[in-house]
Amino acid sequence: MQGMGMETPTTSRWDEVGAMREGWLQGARRVVSSHCDERPAGVIPELVVVHGISLPPGEFGGPFVDRLFTGTLDPRDHPFFAQIQGLRVSAHVLIRRDGELVQYVPFHRRAWHAGVSAFQGREACNDFSIGIELEGTDEIPYEAVQYQRLAAVIRRLRERYPAIGPGRVVGHCHIAPGRKTDPGPAFDWVRLEVLLGWRPGP
Ligand SMILES: [Zn+2]
């Protein structure tokens, strides 16, 4: 990818992600969240749910997503935070606008990202999915590095959880229609599938 206005650091490539060890991606910044629990017995991840998040809404780069997912958001920092204070939510991974990867929950545990949801008639998607947040909004195009990182993370997940394949990467909007809209129309599903090799490129 060229001309996207991002410098690729020499220490890592955006399209590479460290191997998984004990449920954690090596190289991701680790921020341990207690907002998780055990998956039901015998259930392993077979779905990836893509989300969009920004805190405060529409603002990027602050520390507030980490704080939301660790239960340390201070309502005095922004009026919106009073509305979501006390929510016990999380995701496995956040991919920030600059491509930084943050992991909150190991993949074998259940993160709390999907809420009331269903995939192909199967309810409670948290049980059998991995939640990946992209820092963004429904309307602002996501960054090239975020697509590359997302594809790289999914490739790593497939090594461990081969059921995650074509048709098994969906948006929050797809599993909770009418209730959730993220990652929104700004997210380019074709672009992701091309990066994953699941459809031919242009
Ligand atoms: Zn979501």
Per-residue three-class SS string for 151-167 = HHHHHHHHHHCCCCCCC
CA 198 – ligand 1 centroid, Å: 23
| CA–CA dist 141, 57 (Å, integer) | 15
Residues 6+ apart with CB under 8 A from 51: 91, 113, 131, 132, 133, 134, 171, 172, 182, 183
Residue with tokens 């507030």: 64
Residue with tokens 């191997």: 19
Catalytic residue chosen out of the listed positions 59, 133, 159, 193: 133
CA 39 – ligand 1 centroid, Å: 19
pLDDT bracket for residue 16 (50, 70, 90): confident
pLDDT bracket for residue 196 (50, 70, 90): very high
Q: Are strands 29-30 and 101-103 parallel, antiparallel or unpaired?
A: parallel
Q: Which two tokens stand for residue 43?
A: 């259930």
Q: Which domains does the chain have, with CATH numbers?
A: 25-195 (3.40.80.10)
CA 173 – ligand 1 centroid, Å: 7
What pLDDT digit, counting tens, does each position of 81-131 carry?
A: 999 988 999 999 999 999 999 999 999 999 999 999 999 999 999 999 999
Q: Would the pLDDT of 159 be above 70? A: yes
